[in-house]
Structure 1
Amino acid sequence: MSSSSEEKGSGSTSHDNDSISVYERPKGLRAIYYHPLTQIIMLGFVCFLCPGMFNALTGLGGGGQVDATTSANANSAVYATYAVSAFFSGTVNNKIGARLTLLFGTLGYALYVSSYLVINIHPDAGWFLVTSGALLGVTAGFLWTAQGSLMLSYCTEAQKGIYISIFWGIFSLGAVVGSAVSLGQNFNSTSNGVGNGTYIGILVLTLVGVTIPMMMADPAKMIRTDGTRVVMPRHPSWKSEFHGLWVAIVTDPMVLLLFPLFCASAYFYTWQFNDYNAALFNIRARSLNNFVHWLSQIFGSVMLGFVLDSKWLRRRGRAFAGWFILLVVAFVVHIWAYEYQKTYTRSSVLLTPKMDIYDPRYPAHIWLMIFYGLLDAMWHVMCFWLIGAMSNDTNKLAIYSGFFHSIQAAGSAIGWRLDAIKLPYMNIFISTWCLVAAGLVFSFPMIYLRVRDTTVLEDEGLIRRDQGLNDNDMKVKGVGEGHGNEMP
């Protein structure tokens, strides 16, 4: 190893090309603020207050409305535009920086929540709800890509499972709080729709979330817990970034095997929230179902995160363990749900009184919502963990996050649209079960062939074509275990 030299102001040690620079972490209060976990927690609260409130509304079934059709069309608009924006949002994230991308991403959530207040006051304003949904889809793609890039690049390789689970727990707590607001507002109601106070309370919380991104630390100043600097991408040309989307697939085609897993991750919301929660329960029971669903997600994320970061298994072993747990939970939940789905149709629910929390059938039905929450959290943690297992390169992570959210949104847009055109509940349920099974089947060979005990240089090849570079100047960047290389 070559002799080391102190870098001015950084407290780092610089080594030769075969070594990694290790930087001294800040001291005192700065150490707390610039700690990766602090920033992950702040990131979690952005999603707690924006997507979390969106989930609280969605989980009510129909956004808390009596007629779920307009809400289903709005959700379809959300995810249709989301699918397009998310696919290219890694480009925007790399171009303007994660904080600005995150800030822009929060704005659509405030508009969308406000549109439910508008339609509650003016029932003929359904067009505004659908339009707001389309605009939210654009901004949501940017928020979630920035979130994925930050979350997966702030942690070391050994911390990815626990950091993902901490983030997901905080994010899910947002929907818990939003659901608690709805439950408190509607506990004494036996109607099928929520009042203005519910929407106002959720809107205020969403607006608080809009302010958090600019309070977060500059990613360029972040140092991981192992002393390595978080290297955010420099600002390359738009041409090279769009080229990078294609190159990411060419250099790592195994990501294609994760697409069914990604697609299922939000497709199953349609049946859970509209075709089960909204179809069978009154607003008081819907609110309580929604509350326990998101509360159980906190436990689900922590449980699987613990398995995926366990020290008693190698990373490949942890990947297979996580996949097996997901398989068992998914099939138990769907077999259980099928037993309920056989008992009702779109026609029958119009003639049957909605189930209340005091109905003797209710306890068994609420447990299904709890287990769906566990499955949802585990599914998302597994998706993020597999993305993180494929790369430590921030550029690649931004692109993979874009892939995830784009495919996820496309599946969700289809699911909500099928509900809006009144496809039979059983058809939507069976398609959901088949997609979940496909996600598990296709992800298994990807885990077997692609997940290694540590990320190696060959796995990181991402050719970049920047301005001012010709074919002979093409650069390949790579990282070793838990570290990000700086661009040359």
Structure 2
Amino acid sequence: MSPSSTKDSSPRSSADEKTVVPQAHINLEGAGVEEPVKPSFFRGTIFQAAVVGVCSFLSPGLWNAMNAVGGGGAQEPYLVNAANALVFGLMVFTCTLGTTVSNRIGLKWTLLVGTLGYTPYAAGLYTNKMFGTVWLVLFGAALCGISAGIFWSVEGAIVLGYPEATKRGVYLAVWLGFKSGGQILGGAINVALNSKPSGAGSVSSQTYLVFISLSAISPIFALLLSEPAKVQREDGTKVTVGTSTLGFKQELLQIWKVFTRREVLFLAPIAFYSSIMGPWTTTYLALYFSVRARAVASLVTAVVGILANFAMGYFLDSTRVSLKSRARYSYLLMAALGLASWIWSLVIQTEFSANKPATLDWVAGGAFSRAYVLYVLYALNTSVLQNVLYFYIGAISTEPTDIGRLSSILRALESAGSAVGYGITSNKTMSHLIPLGIDIGFFGISFPLGWFCINKIGVTLSGGYESSEKLEAVQAAEKADKETLAAEGKGFALGPQA
């Protein structure tokens, strides 16, 4: 159902007016408004975002740093790509089950469970580097896949569901900034420990020991999260995400119901695409660049990601631009960046497949620069796209409990994309033009389909980002435009609209 408003013609006192919010916001958040009070710092929404951010910093952030050097830092990426295919294959299922777990044990303990698998993953890479152990790489990947899927599903639900709707863009930027901060720290460690080798090879064993130590303390920070009933918002509204009491089967049915909504189905291919392109890019980095260039790449891409996320976060929260325009402009930007990246990559990969270059390092000058900047552009694509995807699912949510389910669906689709991508790139004999062509194909399919969802945001869907009065005004303007075009014979109907 779409957010709606009711108008009360009875007089209100000035005291009443201070606590009145648009009815659309009340319906979405589900619990009305209490008398606004100054939130306790430790119960405030910004602190909750910081807690999730620190956990993201120490868990997936450092995982990203390990993989940002290409192939988990290994000399050849194929074993790590196979392990990552296992990670994300398991995450397809555990992401989907995220809300059923949080319904049972609460969001705080679900977050804690989600942090437990990253240390065994790093330990597997370390033992493979030192002793050639293969089984721990795969076992650590399996543990990481089980816990990380739960983590991915719950972190998005908290960051989208805890803050007021009008602050989600900035809170997403804070959270993703922390996650990228983990990659910055990891990148700095990579550079410090791997700055001398100018040739190919694997990263220093000390790099893995530092990552193991840092990821091991992540569960401690998860204990600082407040459960929804204890969170205090500045506007007095209650947090309802994570408060469902449905059983396992009922929750899965609700997830399926949300997934089969028309706008979710149109957005689903983009969520899949947003992660399938990652494995090709990290394999590209591992195959063609020196160890120290790979180490610097993990640092540079993290910095670029943070700057881009905060810029996009402030734009998405801007009250000077309509919700409709914010959704459409951000989407068109993503399409333009993607198109530029794929054209550039097709040229370079065709050249490298025909004649593999010597290991690229910054002493190589122009040949290095044009290939290296492409990797940075990919990182920008991934970082910003994942940010705006959360904005979109927040905008298409119609019930307070939808946010957690939409987050689980989004992360399951992203996991599926990564699993397929890593599975393809784990084949050592396959031409690297094949996974590149598959990625380009998904780009060409997903973005046109996604537009059928995006063009409803700010028109029939708002997710609480705009009041019902403002949404109704936009709907009236859209209707008038269609009637004018029809009268002039310039438009055509697409059939019933959702």
Instruction: Give me the TM-score of the superposition, normalised by structure 1.
Output: 0.85
Which residue among 391, 413, 419 is the counterpart of 1:413?
Answer: 419
Question: In the superposition, relative to structure 1, how do residues 210 and 20 fare at CA in structure 2: closer, same or farther (>3 Å)?
Answer: closer
Which residue among 122, 131, 134 is the counterpart of 2:139?
Answer: 131
Specify the alignment match of 1:246 in structure 2: 256
Question: In the superposition, relative to structure 1, how do residues 451 and 22 fare at CA in structure 2: closer, same or farther (>3 Å)?
Answer: same
Which amino acid counterpart does residue 33 of structure 2 have in structure 1? S
SS in 2 for 1:421: coil
Which residue among 370, 375, 380 is the counterpart of 2:381?
Answer: 375
Shift of 1:363: 2.8
Question: In the superposition, relative to structure 1, how do residues 452 and 141 fare at CA in structure 2: closer, same or farther (>3 Å)?
Answer: farther
Which amino acid counterpart does residue 21 of structure 1 have in structure 2? V
Shift of 1:450: 5.0
Shift of 1:280: 0.7
CA-to-partner distance for each residue in 1:388-417, whole Å, 9 max, x for gaps? 001264421111111111111111111111
Contact 1:284-1:357 within 8 A present in 2 as well:
no
| Residues 1:218 and 2:227 aligned together | yes
Which amino acid counterpart does residue 266 of structure 1 have in structure 2? S
| Residues 1:111 and 2:120 aligned together | yes
Shift of 1:90: 1.9
Contact 1:153-1:392 within 8 A present in 2 as well:
no
Specify the alignment match of 1:390 in structure 2: 396
Shift of 1:136: 1.0
CA distance in 1, matches of 2:80, 2:33: 52
Contact 1:120-1:196 within 8 A present in 2 as well:
yes
CA-to-partner distance for each residue in 1:421-459, whole Å, 9 max, x for gaps? 2321111112112212322111101111355476479x9
Instruction: Show the 5 A alignment for 1:335-484.
Output: 335-345=343-353, 348-349=355-356, 352-360=357-365, 361-391=367-397, 393-422=399-428, 423-449=430-456, 451-452=458-459, 455=462
Specify the alignment match of 1:188 in structure 2: 196
CA-to-partner distance for each residue in 1:140-162, whole Å, 9 max, x for gaps? 11101110110111222221222
Contact 1:66-1:192 within 8 A present in 2 as well:
yes
Contact 2:62-2:211 within 8 A present in 1 as well:
yes
Specify the alignment match of 2:267 in structure 1: 258
CA RMSD of aligned residues (A): 2.8
Specify the alignment match of 1:301 in structure 2: 309
CA distance in 2, matches of 1:233, 1:130: 35
Which amino acid counterpart does residue 292 of structure 1 have in structure 2? V
Contact 1:181-1:202 within 8 A present in 2 as well:
no
Question: In the superposition, relative to structure 1, how do residues 316 and 13 fare at CA in structure 2: closer, same or farther (>3 Å)?
Answer: closer
SS in 2 for 1:21: coil
Specify the alignment match of 1:20 in structure 2: 32
Shift of 1:301: 1.1
Specify the alignment match of 1:236 in structure 2: 246
Instruction: Give me the TM-score of the superposition, normalised by structure 2.
Output: 0.84
SS in 2 for 1:215: coil
Larger deviation, residues 406-415 vs 368-377: 368-377
Which amino acid counterpart does residue 277 of structure 2 have in structure 1? F
Question: In the superposition, relative to structure 1, how do residues 456 and 381 fare at CA in structure 2: closer, same or farther (>3 Å)?
Answer: closer
CA distance in 1, matches of 2:43, 2:35: 13
Which amino acid counterpart does residue 59 of structure 2 have in structure 1? C
Which amino acid counterpart does residue 123 of structure 2 have in structure 1? S
Extract unaligned runs of 5+ from structure 2: 1-7, 13-18, 470-498
CA distance in 1, matches of 2:286, 2:149: 27
Larger deviation, residues 222-231 vs 18-27: 18-27
Which amino acid counterpart does residue 456 of structure 2 have in structure 1? L
CA-to-partner distance for each residue in 1:226-282, whole Å, 9 max, x for gaps? 2211124143222321221222235x33201111111011111111111x2111101
CA distance in 2, matches of 1:452, 1:384: 18
Which residue among 88, 92, 103 is the counterpart of 2:101?
Answer: 92
CA distance in 2, matches of 1:131, 1:279: 25
Which amino acid counterpart does residue 439 of structure 1 have in structure 2? S
Shift of 1:81: 0.6
Contact 1:390-1:455 within 8 A present in 2 as well:
yes
Extract unaligned runs of 5+ from structure 1: 5-11, 460-478, 482-488
SS in 1 for 2:217: helix
CA distance in 1, matches of 2:184, 2:116: 21
CA distance in 2, matches of 1:480, 1:20: 15
CA distance in 1, matches of 2:256, 2:398: 19
Shift of 1:283: 0.7
